[in-house]
Homo-oligomer: A and B are copies of this chain.
Amino acid sequence: MSEQTKFVLDESRIPKCWYNLMADLPTPPPPVLHPGTLEPVGPDDLAPLFPMSLIAQEVTTEREVEIPDPVREVYKLWRPSPLYRARRLERELDTPARIYYKYEGVSPAGSHKPNTAVAQAFYNKEAGVRRIATETGAGQWGSSLSFAGSVFGLEVEVFMVRVSYNQKPYRRALMETYGARCVPSPSEYTNSGRAILAQRADHPGSLGIAISEAVEIAAQHEDTKYALGSVLNHVLLHQTVAGLESIEQMAMAGDDPDILIGCTGGGSNFAGLVFPYLGLQLRGGRSRRVIAVEPAACPSLTRGQYAYDFGDTGHLTPLTKMHTLGSTFTPPGFHAGGLRYHGMAPLVSHAKELGLLEARAYHQRACFEAGVIFARAEGIVPAPEANHAVRAAIDEALHAKASGTSPVILFNLCGHGHFDMQAYIDFHSGKLTDQDYDEGELALALSGLPSVKA
């Protein structure tokens, strides 16, 4: 029993503040632009969609943003999350590397998403909002916001990408158990949805379309606001609880990570883990390798353009500068539904431009192979998204073995795969194949980027 496996913190050690990378960046990220005027947006432009407290968090340059007590109270249901030393995986790989993972799957919805869902629900409730509209792809964000809404007594309306709505009835059931309303998108409830359905009645939907529908509902109703589960600055801010806790837990373990790894769709679980470490570095601390891992089928960081683009397909959102595949880009069907977004968080994109991180892309079979190795060693079956981070951690550990080095690796295991077992069924039966995006589709989507001189 001498070897410690799990580093747990008492709930009194839940961070009291979120960490804001904006405070430590050498240059600020480019401004968010109004799609009509191409001028920087002001708070009033965003007021129909978000409460003022969240708009303030979107632009603040304060290093520490206090976590309200009612949010910390709800965090107590699962936070601080455990940090593990993956001793069994290390032995299985016979690697001299020391592998750690921060496990965010202990939340009620099974992923990191409640870290921001709870905060967003709190600020909306405080602002007198009655209802929140949102979109969801794989369902992790939708179920997290549904949970948060049930806790604070807010109605939650979720537009779920139709193909996922049909394929993932268990995620839907989870949202309904928390009392939310979940409708397939495109729907008949919005102009955006009706326009798409008029063109193609059996449209499978996309995250970009579902965002348009939720934004439209929020913009049209005084008592309704919109919530996004990734990409935006305030979302990444809320996720930093994970990284902040991990700094304390790594100290308990007597180790300091040399390599930080997270999977990236919109970028929030990745940022939540790595931004607090980047902050240490930018304030004069040691540098670490920081690796963002994305799907080869939707590779915004490795194949996208760093440009101003819309966040949604219906072009209702402001323009942000980010690594993007183009707002009309439709990735092929693959199982990590949470990573199927055309753009990358502006802050993550900016950090990449500043040389603070590297990115790589994997095909899905290699990721599931890694996930099964991990499950058999550590017990936890990772979500398909998280398998990307697992793959990179295993590859780094194998590289260490080959090169005779012994780095300390820390990755974010952002969720469990209990609601994604169909993907494992496909993998075990050999039906899971590697998907590539269509080069013509990408070129077309990129050619449609809005022209902005900024």
Are B77 and A170 in contact, CB atoms less than 8 angstroms apart? Answer: no
DSSP majority for the A interface? Answer: helix
Q: For the complex formed by this chain, how many copies does it contain in all?
A: 2
Contacts A5-B77, A174-B381, A178-B376 given; does A169 touch B421 at CB 8 Å: yes
Query: What are the residues of chain B within 8 A of A424 when measuring CB–CB?
Result: 173-174, 176-177
A374 to chain B, nearest CB (A): 10
Task: Specify which of B6, B78, B88, B381 is in contact with A11 (CB 8 Å cutoff).
Answer: B6
Are B173 and A1 in contact, CB atoms less than 8 angstroms apart? Answer: no
> A100 near B: Cβ within 8 Å?
no
> A289 near B: Cβ within 8 Å?
no
Are A379 and B147 in contact, CB atoms less than 8 angstroms apart? Answer: yes
A418 to chain B, nearest CB (A): 4
Residue of B whose beta carbon sits closest to that of A368: B177
Are A4 and B11 in contact, CB atoms less than 8 angstroms apart? Answer: yes
Residue of B whose beta carbon sits closest to that of A376: B150
A407 to chain B, nearest CB (A): 23
Query: How many Å lie between the Cα of A84 and that of B77 in the bound state?
Result: 8
Task: Specify which of B106, B108, B172, B173 is in contact with A106 (CB 8 Å cutoff).
Answer: B106
Query: Quick one: which of A4, A107, A169, A376 has the most chain B CB within 10 A?
Result: A376
Task: Specify which of B8, B12, B169, B421 is in contact with A174 (CB 8 Å cutoff).
Answer: B421
Are B381 and A428 in contact, CB atoms less than 8 angstroms apart? Answer: no
Are A425 and B78 in contact, CB atoms less than 8 angstroms apart? Answer: no
> A69 near B: Cβ within 8 Å?
yes
Query: How many Å lie between the Cα of A425 and that of B182 in the bound state?
Result: 13
Are B170 and A418 in contact, CB atoms less than 8 angstroms apart? Answer: yes
Query: How many Å lie between the Cα of A78 and that of B5 in the bound state?
Result: 10
Query: What are the residues of chain B within 8 A of A421 when measuring CB–CB?
Result: 169-170, 173-174, 177
- Per-residue CB proximity of A1-28 to B under 8 Å, as 1/0? 1011110101110000000000000000
Query: What are the residues of chain B within 8 A of A150 when measuring CB–CB?
Result: 375-376
Contacts A178-B375, A421-B170, A421-B174 given; does A5 touch B11 at CB 8 Å: yes
Query: What are the residues of chain B within 8 A of A179 when measuring CB–CB?
Result: 376
Query: How many Å lie between the Cα of A172 and that of B429 in the bound state?
Result: 12
- Per-residue CB proximity of A90-124 to B under 8 Å, as 1/0? 00000000000000001111100000000000000
Interface size class of A (residues with CB under 8 A): 35 or more
Query: How many Å lie between the Cα of A78 and that of B428 in the bound state?
Result: 26
Query: What are the residues of chain B within 8 A of A169 when measuring CB–CB?
Result: 421-422, 425
Are A110 and B418 in contact, CB atoms less than 8 angstroms apart? Answer: yes
Query: Quick one: which of A8, A178, A381, A422 has the most chain B CB within 10 A?
Result: A381
A248 to chain B, nearest CB (A): 14
> A76 near B: Cβ within 8 Å?
yes
Are B8 and A151 in contact, CB atoms less than 8 angstroms apart? Answer: no
- Per-residue CB proximity of A375-405 to B under 8 Å, as 1/0? 1101111000000000000000000000000
Query: What are the residues of chain B within 8 A of A409 when measuring CB–CB?
Result: none
Task: Specify which of B4, B5, B425 is in contact with A173 (CB 8 Å cutoff).
Answer: B425
Query: What are the residues of chain B within 8 A of A256 when measuring CB–CB?
Result: none
Q: Could you pull out 16 A-B pairs where Cβ atoms are within 8 angstroms?
A: A1-B69, A3-B73, A4-B76, A5-B73, A5-B76, A6-B11, A6-B76, A8-B10, A8-B11, A77-B378, A77-B379, A108-B381, A169-B422, A170-B425, A173-B422, A173-B424
Taking A173-B428, A177-B376 as known contacts, 11 extra A-B pairs with beta carbons closer than 8 A to each other, sorted by chain A number, are: A4-B76, A5-B11, A5-B73, A6-B11, A8-B10, A108-B375, A108-B380, A150-B375, A169-B425, A174-B424, A176-B424
